Structure 1
């Protein structure tokens, strides 16, 4: 019997993990879904310690094995190691990102550098690397299958990128850098969450809520009520507008009170800049940028961006820069033209004094006015037709059924980590279980902003595991008894994140480290962006876009206007995205001595970088300013935020491929096309070069032209 299934787990070199700890044995729930109801904060520290100790013992057994290296005693042994630690960390990361709270964050702060040191124990072990090198030298005689050969290649590459060839003294320097970097990333993420919590906008005068529908006003009142007794409590009730992670806030498009819009955007863009000392991120991000640059130079790279891009599908940081530059000029030109149009709309607004200039906080409001004028619709008209449950069942799940034959069965008997988290079992057309899909759709205090997908269980034939994947959104919860009505962009987010979920659910690989979305950052967004195409498919949108009270479909003329909106507003959308992507590159294409030293210099660094790139438009602030840019300073997308537009090149090309697979005018929404996309790409994980998977699907390399047309960036 494996050690981790007995009553008491005995990690080598550490105290026994008590049998009462829920991590002492694998979860008995279907598909290995963690038993969140059994987990308390007090269980995390001892389980992490036991998991690290056990994995170190497993690594030591590989390093000291006296047998000739082979697949079983080296590669598979490494892949099997850390089973307990994986169980713990998937739960830990889920609670830290989706629940939060001071207790969880305290443990996270304590554990983060220890985990970094734990990783260094493996990646800087020359004994293990030598075994991999010996295995590589013997590979021609071993007749390795393609996936195993790729795994061996990946490990050898990652050992070298981790600094295995450095001298011992440099290893010690590297360990110190890695520990401090991960500590800073953790602190930055926690401060960003804190900034969203304290940055809420208080509304005492109901007149400021003009333009907002009844459901939204009720939700804002509930936000205030939920904070009764806290430092954010409002005497006499009132309303609180929460902050979302990006710069642009959803209410900016609907609030007609100009003063509220100005206060809301000001609260958004000043997060982390010192307006609240506990959530000031400037010193953290400066030290982080400097230490990343130091580490890159220690590893032999010109800067951190060069280090990151080497592990992606882009050829170099120069290639990334050339692509972003190619897009920046036409995007800024289009945004400037859009600004002139919006100024005309503002000039015609009788509630605004003559001579008023368009402000950044006015943009999305008057863009919605212009959209309504030109296309005769806005999100206020659409929202009653976009109810969350229907979007899921008749939109997202329906599409997956048409393309792949999947069915979804909600499991009320399976609990998540919060009351409003839901679980579905996903079945093949023949009834075979695929895995579990977990939906966490609502914002809550302590949850980090934005939307993301993560795995609770990685698919692996070696470990006999089927996938459990989570989609996380941050939709403002409605008052009790009221429906959750979405914006068109929130519908897009539902489809986008489910594209990630499909990538995880369809994984069909042997090794867990190659499973699902474990692909380069500049490829991982590609399948999710492709999945967005189906939200606008006539058959799909006709099913999910129905009035939440009457069940009437979205009127045909309104649907036509939605689907024909095309490139409207793409100047703004592309420019604000490029602003963030170029800031990310600017912070990570410098040497240690080029990083500013004073927090007050952050804003000037930003301004100079944006102006130099040609996207420093006052009216179009970047999607994320540096001080709340969690993608890049919280870790995960550092020097990799370009990935979204890089992946969109593949996405736009693939949309054309689906159109070529159409049957009887279905636009490619058929099982034959879905099966091909699943087999050639979604199932492969990182078991081969991702661009080889794309070429297998498309028959050639991607071209950028479809993207330029989509975003209106052609001359």
Structure 2
């Protein structure tokens, strides 16, 4: 995923905090320090302005961000109170430039808060979040400032602006209106309270869920309980605090280990630990959910909308909840029907083994793997030796980028990182021109949030003469010392996916950082990343990187054929679990402001039932509400549908490539020039149609999923 966080139009990161206010007796010296001692207060001297983690300390972040807030406040006040007639330069451009320090610092801070947090960073995150929410309101609920933007917007046709500058003006103006600039003074004060509360609750949710994931790790002390699990994996999970093996939880409902665990009781134990991780004790997130959806609904009503989804979807491709639900309607019947067929096959497999039980969610992956082996003679253990992490990255992901876009790379061991697992590469254009820096952080650890994402340390912009510095974060199991990191095919696709986001950022060619690269609607931002997954199995790419980690032999054609033939296997399950999560998101965010939710679990059950996404008992949602960090801690509230929406785009786009010669430099350059380099400088529907030659069609997606 692209890590989407609510942003100020100038890319100010707005996060959230817990309910506690900053203590009144916090000493001033904790918030301030000699500027000469804080490396964040000046631009880094490292290549590309990359953050100098050899100098940055946890205690530097808060005073730097506070200073950034003060600098921006002064700049905004000067713009708003100016007696000069508003112009693009003294109003729009001035606001765009007002948050440079704050943005630069917060980009680094939130990278660490997501990928390598600790108690100090969590405390800072909690303390700063309401300040960021207030900062956003200081800008977008400023009457004088909005008046200047409205003056310019009303006469925009006579300003003779270049297309990107006009787009920047329009984006800011829409952001003002969406944020509530037209509200009365009294209602603006209410809105500020709502925004602060939302900020408070979302960060509290994220912190609580991280604690729940860590606390939910399951310890097995009897090795027989882990029969079938890879020995190298077990070595890496030996319990440091006592006997046995400690199995950490992935952020999703299903856990990767369930595919290989032979002991049914162990599977049930691990599954239920994941299912119930955040609905008991100190890590219970249900009250946070109830409060969040309630205040979001109240905010939407104040802004003149029937529900939060209506308000949130304004600048997306889908536009309305009705359009999202209509899109669901085209997929749910086919997905659940396919999932039921898959469930029947799995039940037959269970019965054929002489077992006498009904298929449950914790059985699915284990017996589905048996079905796959039987139908396609394909065993995941046959595949993994060919997917060694470094080969996948350098000879697969980078190689595909070279073939399509001419991109080359070299490792940079001289750039400081925030963790020993992080590696840095410098990327170059085909002619040798530097493109930017790329950081990889692939292994899971307790200090890292679940999932996978991309974001920027430095955002491309011609305004500041900046090239991009981008990172990818994943949560692959870390192998024991000296052992290779062997990936499943899903993990291979994830690596291609996240680098697709990175390419979207690297190819940015914008004047203004607010419009640069991945600063697009949620239901478009996942399109370049999902599209890039297609090259993982492309013959020329696959044969280059799928090399046996011991022998160096390329993956046999027979095994490639098996992978391809099994491509539509389990797709009913996969799509149904995603649609279930997307539906939960939309149901939570179409609640009206006068509806109170008493029981989160009951609401979840009813939501799935009403949309017929519970018809296959053994297919749970990819995320339960209680650990759905995308929508309750990230920026995907009323937006998780975008993964399926952009899946439609990426299959339709790959269909174009297949009918136009496939993997060629010409095709890659055209895609870069017309899509990947455009950022948010034009209407996204028009951008896609200009490149594709037509509106996207859902047929290629259904075909790829084996649903037609």
Q: TM-score, normalised by structure 1?
A: 0.93
Aligned-residue offset at 1:140: 2.4
Contact 1:388 1:485 in 2 (8 A): yes
Per-residue CA deviation, residues 433-481 of structure 1 (Å, 9 max, x unaligned), is 1111110101111210000111111100111111111111000100110
Partner of 2:632 in structure 1? Answer: 633
How far, CA to CA, are the matches of 1:105 and 1:283 in structure 2?
20
How far, CA to CA, are the matches of 1:699 and 1:341 in structure 2?
41
How far, CA to CA, are the matches of 1:509 and 1:389 in structure 2?
32
Equivalent runs, 1:411-450 vs 2, <5 Å: 411-450=412-451
Partner of 1:700 in structure 2? Answer: 694
Residue 577 in structure 1 maps to residue 578 in structure 2: yes
Partner of 2:4 in structure 1? Answer: none
Q: Residue 77 of structure 1 is aligned with which of 88, 94, 101?
A: 94
SS of the residue corresponding to residue 19 of structure 1 reads helix
Q: Gaps (5+ residues) in structure 2?
A: 1-30
How far, CA to CA, are the matches of 1:605 and 1:693 in structure 2?
39
Q: Residue 704 of structure 2 is aligned with which of 700, 704, 710?
A: 710
Aligned-residue offset at 1:258: 1.2
Partner of 1:410 in structure 2? Answer: 411
Per-residue CA deviation, residues 513-568 of structure 1 (Å, 9 max, x unaligned), is 00111100111000101000000100111111111000111121111110122311
How far, CA to CA, are the matches of 1:100 and 1:618 in structure 2?
37
Aligned-residue offset at 1:660: 2.1
Q: Residue 329 of structure 2 is aligned with which of 325, 328, 334?
A: 325
SS of the residue corresponding to residue 278 of structure 1 reads helix
Aligned-residue offset at 1:16: 7.2
Aligned-residue offset at 1:690: 1.4
SS of the residue corresponding to residue 62 of structure 2 reads helix
Aligned-residue offset at 1:23: 1.1
Contact 1:309 1:316 in 2 (8 A): yes
Aligned-residue offset at 1:712: 2.5
Aligned-residue offset at 1:390: 0.2
Residue 283 in structure 1 maps to residue 277 in structure 2: no
Partner of 1:361 in structure 2? Answer: 362
Partner of 2:248 in structure 1? Answer: 242
Contact 1:289 1:595 in 2 (8 A): no
Aligned-residue offset at 1:44: 1.5
Aligned-residue offset at 1:689: 1.0
Partner of 2:552 in structure 1? Answer: 551
Per-residue CA deviation, residues 59-88 of structure 1 (Å, 9 max, x unaligned), is 112112222222211111111111111121
How far, CA to CA, are the matches of 2:185 and 2:195 in structure 1?
15
Q: Between the two structures, name the one with larger relative contact order (CA 8 Å, sep ≥ 6).
A: 2
The runs of at least 4 aligned residues of structure 1 exceeding 6 Å deviation read none
Partner of 1:10 in structure 2? Answer: none
Partner of 1:502 in structure 2? Answer: 503
Equivalent runs, 1:365-380 vs 2, <5 Å: 365-380=366-381
Partner of 2:19 in structure 1? Answer: none
Equivalent runs, 1:581-660 vs 2, <5 Å: 581-597=582-598, 601-616=599-614, 617-660=616-659
How far, CA to CA, are the matches of 2:496 and 2:33 in structure 1?
44
How far, CA to CA, are the matches of 1:700 and 1:345 in structure 2?
44
How far, CA to CA, are the matches of 1:595 and 1:249 in structure 2?
33
Q: Residue 48 of structure 1 is aligned with which of 55, 61, 65?
A: 65
Partner of 2:483 in structure 1? Answer: 482
Partner of 1:182 in structure 2? Answer: 199
Change in CA separation of 1:15 and 1:238 when aligned onto 2, cut-off 3 Å: closer
Residue 167 in structure 1 maps to residue 166 in structure 2: no
How far, CA to CA, are the matches of 2:556 and 2:646 in structure 1?
34
Q: Bigger CA drift: 118-127 or 341-350?
A: 341-350
Q: Gaps (5+ residues) in structure 1?
A: 1-13, 226-232, 663-667
SS of the residue corresponding to residue 144 of structure 1 reads coil
Per-residue CA deviation, residues 564-587 of structure 1 (Å, 9 max, x unaligned), is 223111110011001100000110
Q: Residue 220 of structure 2 is aligned with which of 195, 203, 216?
A: 203
Partner of 1:271 in structure 2? Answer: 277
SS of the residue corresponding to residue 507 of structure 1 reads coil
How far, CA to CA, are the matches of 2:396 and 2:321 in structure 1?
38
How far, CA to CA, are the matches of 2:289 and 2:36 in structure 1?
41
Query: How many corresponding residue pairs?
Result: 677
Contact 1:16 1:50 in 2 (8 A): no
SS of the residue corresponding to residue 232 of structure 2 reads helix
Aligned-residue offset at 1:325: 2.1
Per-residue CA deviation, residues 397-436 of structure 1 (Å, 9 max, x unaligned), is 0000000101111100012211111111110011111111
Per-residue CA deviation, residues 564-617 of structure 1 (Å, 9 max, x unaligned), is 2231111100110011000001100111332313xxx11110110001010113
Aligned-residue offset at 1:278: 2.0
How far, CA to CA, are the matches of 1:193 and 1:618 in structure 2?
28
Per-residue CA deviation, residues 119-138 of structure 1 (Å, 9 max, x unaligned), is 10000011111111221233
How far, CA to CA, are the matches of 2:706 and 2:596 in structure 1?
35
Q: Residue 680 of structure 2 is aligned with which of 679, 682, 686?
A: 686
How far, CA to CA, are the matches of 2:567 and 2:494 in structure 1?
18
Partner of 2:24 in structure 1? Answer: none
Contact 1:327 1:713 in 2 (8 A): no
SS of the residue corresponding to residue 36 of structure 1 reads coil
Aligned-residue offset at 1:216: 1.2
SS of the residue corresponding to residue 593 of structure 1 reads coil
Per-residue CA deviation, residues 131-165 of structure 1 (Å, 9 max, x unaligned), is 11221233222211111111111111110000001
Contact 1:136 1:152 in 2 (8 A): yes
Partner of 1:152 in structure 2? Answer: 169
SS of the residue corresponding to residue 156 of structure 1 reads helix
Partner of 1:5 in structure 2? Answer: none
Change in CA separation of 1:17 and 1:507 when aligned onto 2, cut-off 3 Å: farther
Partner of 1:141 in structure 2? Answer: 158
Aligned-residue offset at 1:102: 1.5
Contact 1:575 1:622 in 2 (8 A): yes
Residue 61 in structure 1 maps to residue 65 in structure 2: no
How far, CA to CA, are the matches of 1:318 and 1:464 in structure 2?
42
How far, CA to CA, are the matches of 2:350 and 2:417 in structure 1?
47
